[in-house]
Amino acid sequence: MDARRTLVGTCGYSYDEWRGTLYPEGLPKAEFLRRYSLSFPFVELDFSYYGMPRAASLAALAASSPPGFLFSLKAHKSLTHERGSDWRERATEFARAAGALAEAGRLAAILVQLPYSFKRGEAERRYLGALCDELSAFPLAVEFRNDQWQSEGVLAELDRRGAALVLVDRPDLPGLPPESTAVTGGWSYLRFHGRNAEAWWTGGATGRYDYLYSEEELEGIVPLIRSVEEKAELLLIAFNNHSKGRAVVNARMLAGMLEEAGAVG
């Protein structure tokens, strides 16, 4: 390959249940990130969705990981799922924290993951544009959970802003975004959520992502990845099926498949 890169990692890393799969029994949790970084080149930080991140904490994570290791940072829920009248203040607070990773040269992306209820109406379009403006200092990746956003106009606007459309592997259910190889902003982000159709709407976060991809399933998506790589300078791939360490198993599996052909940086 040329300067293009494909990085495979997981959504989160600090799971006690990953002991025996990625972390040795008895390893202090303070050592989890260092051990994780021996296996993967980047990680998606999801704790920033549940609690507003702090610059000092993110700077400490950067300092405790090896040079070149990258982070993506999920936007806080006050900016996506629980928006209030003070969202601009919250965006400023979030940006202040994210700046610590950016200044260290460790920020790969800000992940703006929007809920299924965020439909493509005029108010929603204006809000998303304003949010992207507030976070424009950072590389943005936008994940839609509702297929109403699958339009050429939306792709063109993301591309104009240099923002990546997040591609998703998910159950084949009505209303969810279709499989896509669209690349916007010159780079891409692919998240594997599992294909647990029975629990997608009713199983909660744990049941929804409780899924282990088979080798055959991952081999089936390699052609899609190849197509995206042809158009993207950077492709981040994150496995969200963290239950029981399955994200680790599948990330290793896919990285091995891609590495055989020299596709993983």
3-class DSSP string for 100-150: HHHHCCCEEEEEEECCCCCCCCHHHHHHHHHHHHHCCCCCEEEECCCHHHC
**Mean pLDDT value of segment 216-233:** 96
State the pLDDT confidence band at 1, using cuts at 50, 70 and 90: very low
Is the pLDDT at 126 greater than 80, yes or no? yes
Is the pLDDT at 264 greater than 70, yes or no? no
Return d(Cα 13, Cα 15) in angstroms, integer: 6
Is the pLDDT at 128 greater than 50, yes or no? yes
- In total, the chain counts a number of residues equal to 265
Is the pLDDT at 261 greater than 70, yes or no? no
Is the pLDDT at 227 greater than 60, yes or no? yes
**Mean pLDDT value of segment 251-261:** 91
Residues 6+ apart with CB under 8 A from 257: 218, 219, 222
Percent of the chain with pLDDT over 90: 92
Q: How far is CA 90 from the centre of its chain?
A: 21
CB 10 within 8 A of CB 255: no
The CATH architecture of the domain made up of 5-259 is Alpha-Beta Barrel (3.20)
Least confident range of 169-173, 209-213, 260-264: 260-264
Q: Quick one: pLDDT at residue 3?
A: 44
Q: pTM of the entire structure?
A: 0.95
User: Per residue in 138-176, pLDDT tens?
Assistant: 999 999 999 999 999 999 999 999 999 999 999 999 999
CB 49 within 8 A of CB 74: yes
Average pLDDT, the chain: 95
**Mean pLDDT value of segment 72-100:** 98
